[in-house]
Amino acid sequence: MMKSRALLPLVGVAILLGIWAIVNGLKLVDPVLLPSPLSTFHTLWQGMIGGKLGADFLKTVARTVSSTAIAAVIAIPLGILLGSSEKVYRSVEFLIDFFRSTPASAMFPLFLVLFGVGDRTKISVAAFGAALVILFNVAYGVMNARKTRLLAAKVMGASRSRVLFDVMLKESLPQTFVGLRNGVSLALVIIVVAEMFIGSTDGLGQRVFEAQQLFDMPGMYAAIFAAGALGYTLNLLFLVIERRFVHWAGR
């Protein structure tokens, strides 16, 4: 019973692959546009274990991870600072919400002017987008720290800095992880778009774009799947870290 439940997610995958194989087998769609699942996954496998795709994959991972790391290093302390005083947060809330709502891709030209064509532009735009998402979540986590818990610490004689580090920081952790997960997803989106359009020679975005330009459909689908796997894995990774370090979340 338990075992069959654990296998349920595979049902959807099997259905999708089945439909894909049937459509391909009956030639309902031009096979040039939709290659068979087998040739797609073969290309994915070949590309990942030694082909160009693997190198591009690693390049995108490096960019996404470094932009998220930069965003976290800036946004977490700043979020704690802003969140620990509601007045301070309210005074910059509009700015944060405004730039959070601005599509980061609209900032590419600006960052190109600032940092030139290269990794620095891609990473900094992605870091900018991710930082705002993380900042907003951390600040809210701190602001929504349970009042009773803060009072309890205060009543036990904790100083302001003790309350901040021992209570507010811990209280904000679950929300901080929500921010990190959303931030890394956003960073990946921005990095892939940047790799496609702003003068890149490598990365998954470039791979998808180039494969499409060369009409290499199996290669394009393979790169898309690689990007999907990367996004899913990053999210899962943060979930696992969260379960470990924020074991009390939701209890």
| Distance of closest approach, residue 147 Cβ to another protein, in angstroms | 8
The count of chain residues that interact with another protein, using the rule CB under 8 A, is 19
Residue list 166-205, contact with another protein (CB under 8 A)? 166-167, 170, 173
Distance between CA atoms of 172 and 144, rounded to whole angstroms? 8
- 16: helix, coil or strand? helix
Among residues 42 and 170, whose Cβ is nearest to another protein?
A: 170
- Considering the complex, what minimum distance in angstroms separates the CB of residue 179 from another protein? 18
The region, left, alpha or beta by phi > 0 then psi within -120 to 50, assigned to residue 250 is left
Tell me whether residue 141 or residue 219 sits nearer to another protein (CB atom): 141
Distances (CA, A) of 107 to 84, 95, 117, 198: 30, 15, 14, 12
**Min separation Cβ 142 and another protein, Å:** 15
Integer CA distances (angstroms), 98 to 95, 132, 179, in order: 5, 10, 17
107 secondary structure, DSSP code: G
The residue (of 167 and 190) whose beta carbon lies closer to another protein is 167
Q: Is 157 left (phi over 0), alpha (psi -120 to 50) or beta?
A: left
Letters for 127-166 (x = contact with another protein by CB under 8 A, - = none) are -------------------xxxx-xx-xxxxx---x---x
Helix (H, G, I), strand (E, B) or coil at 84: coil
Query: 144 Cβ partners below 8 Å, 6+ apart?
Result: 171, 175
* Residue (146 or 243) nearer to another protein, CB: 146
Minimum distance from residue 151 beta carbon to another protein (Å): 6
Q: CB nearer to another protein: give 58 or 151.
A: 151
- Which residues lie near another protein (CB under 8 A)? 146-149, 151-152, 154-158, 162, 166-167, 170, 173, 247-248, 251
